Chain A
Amino acid sequence: MSVENSRELGLFRVLRDDHSQDPAVSVPDAVVLRAYREMRRLRILDAKMILLQRQGRVGFYGACTGQEAVPIGTALALEADDWVYPALREQSVMLVRGFPLTQFIAQVFGNSGDVQKGRQMPSHHSGRSVNQVSWSSNIGPQIMQAVGTAWAMKLQKKSSIAVGFMGDGATSQGDFHSAMNFAGVFKTPCVLICQNNHWSISVPTAKQTASATIAIKGLAYAVPSCRVDGNDLLAVYAAVKEAADDARAGKGTTFIECLTYRIGAHSTSDDPSRYRTDEEVESWKRKDPVDRLRNHLVHRGLLDDAKDAALEAELTDEVNEAVKVAEAFPAPSRESLFDDVYQELPWFLQEQKEELRRAPPAPSHGG
């Protein structure tokens, strides 16, 4: 591996500017085709969710636009029994691992079609069926939890690993350093992935850390660390797969910094034009991960314009249909409020439940 392509000293890339790939890395056709489909669907889904928010149909959404290669590449590199702790922009990992799209969208509506029963704000998905745990609105706690889950796998001598995501801003948080420290000391079977998208809402990475790179922070904790082109699906997939294999083989945790860029706003509550230039955004659009993978697939002879247009039409229909089904679910019942606070319904919540039942319905519930 050349210095330029070295994982520790430079940026690990597989896709080249001429759309070919580094021959040292091999990613099967089926994987790249699946990745492209998932990335396209995610982009359509995100655009649709933003539109629904603008129309007042959902309250909040955090899109992944411009960063799709990281969650999709990671999801495809994992085994079904592995555990995933996303941050804000990796909810889609669960979709790749088999979580139904309709239920995913119902979570954004927070209605009775949502497995979380309308309790968590949008883009805080969790799915027990696909081993994915909701991130915490407070930045950082899920990194520790991922390491704790990895510790549990080690203690129970299971072959599963845990993957924990974070943004660049989260690496300023104490939880990041605690997590790295535990991961280093206890050699937990874990892959920790930072999506360095250059902006923590309005604060650029340079104001988040004076460190030259984020990956280097892992080395101080004796956690093998590397920097990956996060807009390069093949590079993300290969790096995560190798790290996951290492974790499974008892070599402990790897920390991966994925360099990418948030093309859209931080969330639907944010206006990025107030703190960054159009030129910067445009320069990153030229490195768009979906475009780069499309060009590679064409180069590889796996895709042409007609197939691509058909795919887009199919995925758009799928998303629109899922939105229609998801939006139609009624609100969760008022009585469900007291469920799941504890495993059992304690007497004091039973009392409050009966009191609520006697009260007239809230206006928004309409009976």
Chain B
Amino acid sequence: MREIRYREALREAMIEEMEKDASVFLMGEEVGHYQGAYKVTEGMLEKFGPERVLDTPIAEAGFAGIGVGAAMVGLRPIVEFMTWNFSAIAFDQILNNAAKIRQMSGGQFSCPIVFRGPNASARQVGSQHSHAMEHFYATVPGLKVVAPAFPADAKGLMKAAIRDNNPVLVMESETLYSVKGQVPDDQDAIELGKANVVRPGKDVTLVAYSRMTHVALDAANALAKEGIEAEVVDLRSLRPLDEETIVKSVWKTHRCVIVHEGFPYGGVGAEVADRVQRLAFDSLDAPVLRVATLDVPMPYNAKLEQACMPQADRVIAAAKRVVSRGKA
């Protein structure tokens, strides 16, 4: 077991898979000479050379298409977006091509490709760098979407993503890149589609992923001081969604609060709420609540930004609402 940072875990996963499989290559803006905008790919150009670590022109739709074209004929590209916000420019290649090629071709072609990069808010980078994009992609048949919160999961899920024969989108977080965590020396791939109960509890289930798992854990620790034991379910995968783990937790706690970045309209939280009301209806003692980013484009000003984002105090307030209702 070693303590490493989230960005190092991602890098180790890519390096280990590239060493093992010559068909894996990495491409994106600034991934080579500059070592990655967030240094996730540091040292990889030196290790693998400019053909397998490819600095691309600034054209997201372009290099996403290069990746799709290479994936269809036997390579396994890893495509980095400097932020998932910029993937909007490549949306067509992901939505209409990567996701659909296997099905549209009747299974003749596959598209084993990884799209990855930081998602949702960073710190004061404005709305065009702060959008939580996973909500769009998680709705698309043919795609898989993961959003790890911890270094060990980042490494394991990245390895699984690279080995998967379907397109997998890895949603990282700029604010998690420097977070440290214990990673087993032999950390292998983690099965896609499996959530993890990262804190057991009996009074309320907090469902979260990516950075919001850390916010949920902070909230759970504060709630514990007031005698409320929250169980935190870290989704890790958004599609496939591990509804079994969510529902089992709600059967135990009878209450559910979902925490995510991204807006309250639609999205992963709405999807979780649907599963909970449908599969744990008789068990619920209170309505399912969501704590999300406020329904406005992200402002630049630091105080306004913090006010928009889900904070532990909003999670605590929501948890208390559902707990007190259940006991009333």
B297 touches A (CB below 8 Å): no
Give per-residue flags for A110-132: 1 if the beta carbon is below 8 A from chain B beta carbons, else 0: 00001111011000101110000
A267 touches B (CB below 8 Å): no
Query: Contact between A341 and B104 (Cβ–Cβ < 8 Å)?
Result: no
Which of the 9-residue segments B11-19, B60-68, B175-183 touches chain A?
A: B60-68
From the candidates B67, B72, B93, B104, name the one contacting A119 in the complex (CB within 8 A).
B104
Query: Contact between A120 and B105 (Cβ–Cβ < 8 Å)?
Result: yes
Contacts of A348 in B (CB 8 A): 240-241
Closest CB-CB distance, A17 to chain B, in whole Å? 41
Closest CB-CB distance, A60 to chain B, in whole Å? 15
From the candidates B64, B142, B241, name the one contacting A342 in the complex (CB within 8 A).
B142
Q: Which of B62, B75, B109 has the most CB of A within 10 A?
A: B62
Tell whether A148 pairs with B142 under 8 Å between CB atoms, given A119-B104, A342-B166, A346-B240. Answer: no
A279 touches B (CB below 8 Å): no
Closest CB-CB distance, A339 to chain B, in whole Å? 7
A305 touches B (CB below 8 Å): no
Contacts of A341 in B (CB 8 A): 102-103, 141-142
A152 touches B (CB below 8 Å): yes
B41 touches A (CB below 8 Å): no
From the candidates B52, B65, B106, B241, name the one contacting A178 in the complex (CB within 8 A).
B65
Query: Contact between B96 and A136 (Cβ–Cβ < 8 Å)?
Result: yes
Query: Contact between B102 and A343 (Cβ–Cβ < 8 Å)?
Result: yes
The chain A residue sitting closest to B55, CB to CB, is: A185
Query: Contact between A148 and B240 (Cβ–Cβ < 8 Å)?
Result: no
A53 touches B (CB below 8 Å): no
Query: Contact between A144 and B106 (Cβ–Cβ < 8 Å)?
Result: no
Query: Contact between B73 and A152 (Cβ–Cβ < 8 Å)?
Result: yes
Contacts of A124 in B (CB 8 A): 104
Query: Contact between A182 and B57 (Cβ–Cβ < 8 Å)?
Result: yes
Give per-residue flags for A130-153: 1 if the beta carbon is below 8 A from chain B beta carbons, else 0: 000110111001011111111111
B210 touches A (CB below 8 Å): no
Query: Contact between A134 and B104 (Cβ–Cβ < 8 Å)?
Result: yes
Tell whether A116 pairs with B240 under 8 Å between CB atoms, given A145-B68, A147-B69. Answer: no
Query: Contact between A156 and B59 (Cβ–Cβ < 8 Å)?
Result: no
Query: Contact between B59 and A182 (Cβ–Cβ < 8 Å)?
Result: yes
Contacts of A347 in B (CB 8 A): 193, 240
Contacts of A182 in B (CB 8 A): 56-57, 59, 62-63, 66
A340 touches B (CB below 8 Å): yes
Assembled-state Cα–Cα distance A136/B64 (Å): 14
Assembled-state Cα–Cα distance A137/B65 (Å): 15
B25 touches A (CB below 8 Å): yes
Query: Contact between A141 and B108 (Cβ–Cβ < 8 Å)?
Result: no
Assembled-state Cα–Cα distance A131/B144 (Å): 27
Assembled-state Cα–Cα distance A266/B319 (Å): 59
Query: Contact between A151 and B105 (Cβ–Cβ < 8 Å)?
Result: no
Closest CB-CB distance, A107 to chain B, in whole Å? 9
B107 touches A (CB below 8 Å): yes
Give per-residue flags for B51-93: 1 if the beta carbon is below 8 A from chain A beta carbons, else 0: 1100011010111111111111111000000000000000011
Q: Which of A127, A148, A155, A185 has the most CB of B within 10 A?
A: A148
Give per-residue flags for A165-185: 1 if the beta carbon is below 8 A from chain B beta carbons, else 0: 000000000110011011001
A83 touches B (CB below 8 Å): yes
Query: Contact between A178 and B62 (Cβ–Cβ < 8 Å)?
Result: yes
From the candidates B69, B105, B108, B165, name the one contacting A343 in the complex (CB within 8 A).
B165
Query: Contact between B69 and A346 (Cβ–Cβ < 8 Å)?
Result: no
Query: Contact between B51 and A155 (Cβ–Cβ < 8 Å)?
Result: yes
Query: Contact between B70 and A152 (Cβ–Cβ < 8 Å)?
Result: yes
B205 touches A (CB below 8 Å): no
B110 touches A (CB below 8 Å): yes
Contacts of B196 in A (CB 8 A): none
Query: Contact between A141 and B93 (Cβ–Cβ < 8 Å)?
Result: yes
The 4 closest A-B pairs by CB, nearest first: A148-B69, A144-B65, A178-B62, A145-B69
- Which chain B residues have a beta carbon within 8 Å of chain A's beta carbons? 25, 51-52, 56-57, 59, 61-75, 92-93, 96-97, 101-110, 141-142, 144, 165-166, 193, 240-241
Known contacts A181-B57, A343-B166; 16 additional CB pairs below 8 A are A85-B69, A116-B106, A133-B72, A133-B109, A136-B96, A141-B65, A141-B92, A147-B69, A151-B69, A151-B70, A152-B69, A155-B52, A178-B65, A181-B62, A182-B59, A182-B62
- Which chain A residues have a beta carbon within 8 Å of chain B's beta carbons? 83, 85, 114-117, 119-120, 124, 126-128, 133-134, 136-138, 141, 143-153, 155-156, 162, 174-175, 178-179, 181-182, 185, 339-343, 346-348
Could you write out 17 A-B pairs with CB less than 8 Å apart?
A115-B108, A116-B106, A124-B104, A126-B104, A133-B72, A144-B68, A144-B93, A145-B66, A147-B65, A148-B70, A149-B72, A152-B73, A155-B70, A181-B57, A182-B66, A342-B144, A343-B166
